[in-house]
Amino acid sequence: LIPAKRFDRFIQILADVGRIRGEKPVGLVLGEGVARPQLQALAAQHAETVDIRFLGYQEDIYPFLAISNAYLFPSEHPEVLPMALIEALAAGLPIICSDIPGNRDIITHGYNGLIVNGPNLAYAEQVIRVLQDQQLASFLSNNACSTARQTYDRRVVVSTILRLYKELVGGLRSRSS
């Protein structure tokens, strides 16, 4: 739990969702880090509108993804390959994420997730949209699974790497001839 991952924003967004809908959403926070005490204090401040559960480090995250309705990822920490998003795709979760490099490479807005660039309320509106529109949630979920299978499955990645190596070796051989 580091500040750049914006778990503070995660809590505030879900608190907005709770205020707007009139029912408390449950947010699961997995992991440990320097920001945990501040995040727990923030969650306590918003306890009337959101139930945030700090579950610590988990070796296997899939049971927690399996019980989730959506995956909110407001991180401002650009990553080349955000594994958290790939894991959420593989779990078939509708994703609501920030508009940063890495996320944009994985998520196609409106196809396998929703990309948000705006204030917390803009995120909250998209979370509510996914929770209330089962057709949209199902569409995003199905496409998330499909994206994970077609792009990030271990067999696909290994065969792509092997093909690239063969092309590289073939190119080197033709230059040396």
Cα–chain center distance at 136: 17
For residue 86, what pLDDT is reported?
94
In this structure, the number of other CB atoms found within 10 A of the CB of residue 66 comes to: 10
Strands 95-98 and 71-73: parallel
Under a CB-based contact definition with an 8 Å cutoff, are residues 66 and 90 in contact? no
| Per-position pLDDT tens, the chain of length 177 | 888 899 999 999 999 999 999 999 999 999 999 999 999 999 999 999 999 999 999 999 999 999 999 999 999 988 888 999 999 999 999 999 999 999 999 999 999 999 999 999 999 999 999 999 999 999 999 999 999 999 877 776 677 777 777 777 776 666 666
The domain tally of the chain equals 1
Give the mean pLDDT of the chain: 92
CATH of the domain at 98: 3.40.50.2000
End-to-end Cα distance, the chain: 53
Give me the residue label for tokens 């230059």.
175
Provide the pLDDT for residue 117: 96
Place of tokens 């700090």: 54
The predicted pLDDT at position 159 comes to: 73
Task: Give the pTM.
Answer: 0.86
> H/E element holding 86?
helix 83-90
pLDDT at 171: 66
Q: Which domain holds residue 85?
A: 3-176
